[in-house]
Amino acid sequence: MKPKLLIARAIFPEIVEKLSNYFELEENQDDIIFSETELVARLQGKFGMLCTSSARVNTSLLSQVPSLKVVSTIAVGYDNFDLAACTKFGVMATNAPDVLNETTADFAWALMMATARRVTEAEHWLRAGHWEKWSYNAFLGADVHGTTLGILGMGRIGRAIARRARGFDMRVIYHNRSRLDPSAESEAGGAIYVDKETLLRDSDHLIVVVPYSAAAHHLIGEAELAQMKSSATLVNIARGGIVDDAALIRALQEKRIAAAGLDVFENEPRFNPGFLTLSNVVLTPHIASASQATRLAMANKAVDNLVAALEGRVPPNLLNNDVLQKTSIE
């Protein structure tokens, strides 16, 4: 008899078919976001769960689902997992890193360029029927080529973003918890390590790519925005909560920075409605990794983690290695 698995959100049919070879499935192709109470009910007797960041896996949940052995998110971010709680209850937690790096870097550039050149603002104006003639000063934006690109968080995605700057003849500066080695800096477009204050002060275009943690909450807030150029743009493709959205709205309203491009928000999808009153912000619904090939690759990686756990192997993307001391997996 196959062990039971909950697929907590809608997913590609080919992923469902692949999982059906290993598990007895409970699907959610209606894509309902389950409450904790609903998750607890559906996880009874389940070996594992395939999920996204909408599923909060914490002590409250885990204490009520003793059969659960593995949770696998199709995302790279895992701030919805309480890893200490997972370890305490002997549950392996896994994610799906790396396969989205290049796609997400592409989107960071798309968002940065749309923000700098006022693309969505101009399109909305055109669609509203206001275009009657060419004008020398219509929608004057900021150049990208030849400017300074700042990257806050120089992990794999940050380095992929930096590599793309070569074709735009940009100076690349970055701030990270630790400096990259010289060869990695060279591969990342000749990126130059600077302190956070210099990054904020010198960047013409600043892209935020740090993972979310309690320490990173409101890493960009009122004080940091005040250090940026009034002509600068800010792009956040990392996680909601890293940027203080209320402070950013005030900065955009008062033109203390020129514009922002946001793919993630605090409390998403219920984001701050103040953004909708602004013309100098580009808004997208958390789609940085949303290409067909990449989202499928992410889902397949999550499946590989589940199958490894089922077969008694260490999942390739295990997040809480300490859990191995509580399980029979070596």
Q: What is the DSSP letter of 47?
A: S
Of these residues, 27, 36, 187, 268, which one is catalytic?
Answer: 268
* Cα 176 to chain centroid, rounded: 17
Identify the helix (H) or strand (E) that includes residue 51. Answer: strand 48-51
Can you spell out the DSSP letters for 227-286? TS-TT-EEEE-S-TTSB-HHHHHHHHHTTSSSEEEES--TTTTS--GGGGG-SSEEE--S
Can you spell out the DSSP letters for 123-185? HHHHHTT---S--TTTT-----TTSEEEEE--SHHHHHHHHHGGGGT-EEEEE-SSPPPHHHH
Q: Quick one: tokens of 93?
A: 């937690």
Of these residues, 286, 295, 311, 330, which one is catalytic?
Answer: 286
Of these residues, 117, 164, 205, 239, which one is catalytic?
Answer: 239
Whole-angstrom Cα distance, residue 196 to residue 158? 15
Give the CA distances from residue 37 to residues 41, 42, 44, 66, in Å, rounded to whole numbers and listed in that order.
Answer: 6, 9, 11, 15
Whole-angstrom Cα distance, residue 293 to residue 152? 27
Q: Is 266 a catalytic residue?
A: no
Q: Is 185 a catalytic residue?
A: no
For the chain, the first-to-last Cα distance in angstroms comes to 24
Determine whether 55 is exposed, middle or buried from the number of CB atoms within 10 Å of its CB (0-12, 13-18, 19+): buried
Q: Is 177 a catalytic residue?
A: no
Determine whether 108 is exposed, middle or buried from the number of CB atoms within 10 Å of its CB (0-12, 13-18, 19+): buried
Q: Name the maximum alpha-carbon separation found in the chain.
A: 72
Q: Which residues are catalytic?
A: 239, 268, 286
